[in-house]
Amino acid sequence: MTLSHRLSVLLLTFLAVTASAIGTTSAAPTVRTTWIPDNGNGTYTNPLFYDEFSDPDIIRVGDDFYLAGTTMHAMPGLVILHSKDLVNWKFLSYATPQLDLGPEFRLEEGKDVYGQGIWAPCIRYHKGTFYVFSNINRTGLLVFTSKDPAGPWQQRLITPGIHDLSVLFDDDGRIYAISGYGEVHMVEFKSDLSGLIEGSDRIIIPHGSAMGEGHHFYKINGKYYIISADYAPVGRMQCARADRIEGPYETVAISARETMGTQRGWWCGNMGQSTAIPGSGAKFDLSKPGDNEFGAVPLHQGGIVDLPNGDWWGFSMMDFKSVGRTTFLSPVTWQNGWPYFGLPGNLGRSPRTWIKPAVATKTNRPQPTNAVTISPERNSCPSGNGTTLQSPVNGRWPRSRACCVCTRCRPNIFS
């Protein structure tokens, strides 16, 4: 089937399912009380979560999909979600109940890890074991392992850390990680993941190749692919490929300038993850974006995942003003051996609403569950499954008094 024929079929299917839903609905439209990406008519609308879920990484194991994302200083940390169709996600587990790696994690000695902690996790499955790799800023690399993605998880610390890494279990049994901004480095793990092989660090893509950071590393049909996020001149996704893991790599942009019509939000110039937590009376240096300013808004920092039927889908994040960095799902079109985000005839641009992935399992449209709220009498999470700010100190922050974000009270993510 030619690209033009395939695009025609996709568009006709999209129009058919939309028209069918309109034609068979006689009741007045319901008012949504929470965001639901599944439109209930065979289509979905981005973002997947109307809430912060940054640095996504997705894998498929059989008919199941698993998603991990950044949780920074919030505890429990490193959330794992589960889906059957890439659109509807449910909370599965946290990889760690808390990180107690020093006084800054306990807000002691005037220290804190606000905005630090768990960044850009890489989730993998290999020979019956689930792995999550995440650099803990200023501390080192944590490797979480479990036979069951619902937990419990074990963890080990490897130093030095590897910022925004992606891991590949190669066919020959060797384990590699890549990282770096612009200049892509590769290092090899010891076979038991007890540490890094000394002297294995090498540059596989030099500066000047249009690569960025937040890499996602794959081996597909015998070729090595690296997808990364770059911000020069504006946010985009760059892909590199090679016949050998050490290169040489060639690169191409697979998604660019896709903002879904969203303008960059206001910017605070004097407060951030590397500054002290502002105290009473602190003044914020706010800047209004210029007209039609992109910044880091366009889709970036994501990767790809395949379906059992051979289709491919892309995932990424987009800065969405005060909502945060939100997760987006894009159809992938392979052309000349490159996995472009988007549809034939419009490569590099993703639809905001499109046909759901073609999976065998049919998922019922989720219903809002925000009838469950935090009880004002108890001042606690009704499920007991929430997050506290930084590492809770046993005996000083009982769950009934802790500041928490309850997963049952955030149905836009976890329902």
The CATH number, out of the four listed (2.115.10.20, 3.30.420.40, 2.60.40.1120, 3.20.20.70), of the domain defined by the range 3-271+287-368: 2.115.10.20
Q: Taking the mean position of all CA atoms in its chain, how far away is CA 388?
A: 21
Tell me the two tokens of residue 31.
């008012």
Q: Write the single-letter amino acid at 389.
A: L
pLDDT digits (tens, 9 = 90+) for 308-354: 999 999 999 888 877 888 899 999 999 999 999 999 999 999 999 99
> Would you state the pLDDT for residue 401?
37
Q: What is the pTM of this model?
A: 0.84
* Cα–Cα dist 201/206, whole Å: 13
Helix (H), strand (E), coil (C) string for 293-357: CCCCCCCEEEEEEECCCCCEEEEEEEEEHHHEEEEEEEEEEEECCEEEEEECCEECCCCCEEECC
If you count DSSP H runs as helices and E runs as strands, how many of each does the chain have, helices first?
2, 28
* Cα–Cα dist 283/373, whole Å: 33
Q: Taking the mean position of all CA atoms in its chain, how far away is CA 157?
A: 22
Task: Say if CB 134 and CB 142 are below 8 A apart.
Answer: yes
3-state DSSP call for residue 104? helix
pLDDT digits (tens, 9 = 90+) for 135-145: 888 788 999 99
* Cα–Cα dist 408/415, whole Å: 8
Is the predicted pLDDT of residue 121 greater than 60, yes or no? Answer: yes
Tell me the two tokens of residue 198.
């000394």
Q: Where are the domains of the chain?
A: 3-271+287-368
pLDDT band at 409 (very low <50, low <70, confident <90, very high): very low
> Would you state the pLDDT for residue 60?
98
pLDDT band at 292 (very low <50, low <70, confident <90, very high): confident
Other Cβ atoms closer than 10 A to 159: 10
Higher pLDDT, 74 or 407: 74
Tell me the two tokens of residue 368.
């809002």
pLDDT band at 160 (very low <50, low <70, confident <90, very high): confident
Share of residues in the chain with pLDDT > 70 (%)? 79
For residues 92-113, give the mean pLDDT.
86
In a 13 Å sphere around the CA of 106, the CA atoms on its Cβ side amount to 10
pLDDT band at 29 (very low <50, low <70, confident <90, very high): low
> Would you state the pLDDT for residue 340?
98
pLDDT band at 80 (very low <50, low <70, confident <90, very high): very high
> Would you state the pLDDT for residue 190?
96
Share of residues in the chain with pLDDT > 90 (%)? 52
